[in-house]
Amino acid sequence: MTAQLIDGNALSKKLRGEVAARAAALTAQGLKPGLAVVLVGDNPASQVYVRNKVKACEEAGLHSVLEKYDASLTEAALLARVDALNQDPTIHGILVQLPLPAHIDAHKVIEAIAPEKDVDGFHVASAGALMVGQEGFKPCTPYGCMKMLEYIGYETRGKHAVVIGRSNIVGKPMAMLLLQANATVTVCHSATPDLAHFTRQADIVVAAVGKRNVLTADMVKPGAVVLDVGMNRTDDGKLCGDVDFAGVSQVAGWITPVPGGVGPMTITMLLVNTIESAERAAQSVDR
Ligand SMILES: Nc1nc(=O)c2c([nH]1)NC[C@@H]1CN(c3ccc(C(=O)N[C@@H](CCC(=O)O)C(=O)O)cc3)C=[N+]21
């Protein structure tokens, strides 16, 4: 292994400590920051993620409410819950865990969240703000990736970044953040004919496809930074990313592991967005 590891757990520990200090200061002022997590159905992966989010809140001194509903919950009932949380002054962030059951229109639910409580950064208003460079919540996973680049002191200006994947929650916002950080950005996806042609030119590769071994050693420029957003399982049930870690870590300069890389950073940035939202709420009360 020649690449240096970008340790998402270590960076998370540092950043969550900062969140905890800000949460303590707000709490002392009489405003306890609060996150509501809404889970519909019994997707086993979602159960684990949601539990991790609630646990992270507790450890950082944030108040959290977990609302669990069974898969038969109607769209109207969910929209009514979101509206109640929008009105609730003890809640500063609302996260509706995805995926939602097929009978519920996820877009409709996300658009129902008040943008000032959209700590996932999934609302069209948040996406639009990111696109035009206005203030708004950044989606947690790409935001966490940018923090990892900052952590290793990586200068993105003038570098070529290749993002593999074009989802609304990772690929597209990742490209926007890198662009804002003065990188030259290429977005590749399932219809890109020769992926390796692009990745071989990249100083930064972000793999966000959801498929194992999308990126192999022969596709990586020596010294490149490789950020692995994938969350997959090997045949024997172990968690793994989109990157062939064993091979790519022989060529790359920096690499994120899975687990212990981007995953914990996603939760960390959720806490950061929530504390930010609570601080904004505190300021609007002060005035
Ligand atoms: N509204 C919404 N917001 C989300 O942010 C959201 C979502 N829905 N739906 C599902 C995905 C997935 N996601 C993860 C977050 C952290 C880890 C994480 O901490 N992973 C650990 C390992 C966890 C394990 O062992 O399973 C790691 O990589 O080290 C993983 C996955 C957030 N998501």
Domain encompassing residue 101: 29-117
For residue 166, is it within any domain? yes
Domain boundary among 82, 117, 152: 117
pLDDT digits (tens, 9 = 90+) for 155-192: 999 999 999 999 999 999 999 999 999 999 999 999 99
Q: Which of 53, 138, 147, 159 is catalytic?
A: 53
Residue nearest to atom 22 of ligand 1 (CA): 259
Give yes or no: residues 91 and 163 share one domain.
Answer: no
Do 74 and 159 sit in the same domain of this protein? no
Q: What is the CATH number of the domain that holds 171?
A: 3.40.50.720
The Cα 34–Cα 257 span in angstroms is 30
Is residue 86 domain-shared with residue 177, that is, in the same domain?
A: no
**Are 110 and 195 part of one and the same domain?**
no
- What whole-number distance in Å separates Cα of residue 271 and Cα of residue 274? 5
Q: Is the pLDDT of residue 74 over 60?
A: yes
Q: Assess whether 108 carries a catalytic annotation.
A: no
Cis peptide before 44 (omega within 30 of 0): no
The verdict on the CB of residue 176 being under 6 Å from ligand 1 is no
How far is it, in rounded angstroms, from Cα 212 to Cα 130? 29
Q: Is the pLDDT of residue 56 over 60?
A: yes
pLDDT category at 286 given cuts 50, 70, 90 is: low
Residue 23 falls inside a structural domain:
no
- The whole-angstrom separation of Cα 262 and Cα 7 is 9
166 annotated ligand-binding residue: yes
* CA pair distance 21, 159, nearest whole angstrom: 35
Q: Using one digit for the tens of pLDDT, what is the confidence trace for 58-70?
A: 999 999 999 999 9
Helix H or strand E encompassing 202: none
Q: Is the minimum distance from the CB of 45 to ligand 1 under 6 angstroms?
A: no
How many domains would you assign to the chain? Answer: 2
Q: Do 188 and 253 share a domain, yes or no? A: yes
pLDDT surpasses 90 at 284 = no
Give the length of the chain: 287
Evaluate whether residue 22 is within a structural domain: no
* Residue 46 annotated in ligand binding: no
Q: How far apart are CA 135 and CA 137, in angstroms?
A: 7
Together in a domain, 225 and 149: yes
Regarding whether 148 and 67 lie in a shared domain, the answer is no
Of the pLDDT bands very low, low, confident and very high (cuts 50, 70, 90), residue 207 is very high
If you measure from the C-alpha of residue 263 to the centroid of ligand 1, how many angstroms do you get, rounded to a whole number?
6
Q: Decide: 267 in ligand 1 pocket, CB within 6 A.
A: yes
- CB-count exposure of residue 155 (10 Å: 0-12, 13-18, 19+): exposed
Is the CB–ligand 1 distance for residue 52 below 6 Å? yes
CATH of the domain at 75: 3.40.50.10860
- 120 noted as active-site residue: yes
Give yes or no: residues 95 and 179 share one domain: no
Tokens for 146, please give them. Answer: 């940018």
Which of 118, 120, 228, 244 does the annotation list as catalytic? 120
228: CA distance to ligand 1 center in Å? 13
Q: Would you call 53 a catalytic residue per the annotation?
A: yes
Average of per-residue pLDDT across 23-40: 97
Distance CA 271, CA 268 (A): 5
Judge if 152 and 237 occupy the same domain: yes
* Residue 109 forms part of a structural domain: yes
Q: Which atom of ligand 1 is nearest to the CA of 270?
A: 5
Residues 78 and 157 placed together within one structural domain of the fold? no
The reply to whether 76 falls in a domain is yes
The answer to the question of residue 33 being in a domain is: yes
What are the C-alpha distances in Å from 278 to residues 48, 89, 140, 284?
26, 10, 17, 10
Tell me if 252 is assigned to some domain.
Answer: yes
Q: Ligand 1 in contact with 49 (CB < 6 A)?
A: yes
- Hey, what long-range contacts does 81-89 have (CB within 8 A, 24 or more apart)? 81/38, 82/38, 82/109, 82/112, 82/113, 83/112, 85/36, 85/38, 85/117, 86/112, 86/113, 86/114, 86/117, 88/36, 89/281
Q: Is the CB of 268 under 6 A from ligand 1?
A: no
Is 126 flagged in the annotation as binding?
no
* Ligand 1 within 6 A of CB of 230: no
Same domain, 145 and 257: yes
Token pair for residue 271? 């806490």
Nearest CA to ligand 1 atom 9: 98
Element (H, E) at 170: none
Both 104 and 149 in a single domain? no
Residue 130 within any structural domain of the chain: no
Say whether pLDDT at 1 is over 80. Answer: no
Q: Rounded to the nearest 5°, which phi and psi values hold at 186? A: -115, 130
pTM, whole model, 2 decimals?
Answer: 0.97
Q: Is-contact 118 137, C-beta < 8 A?
A: yes
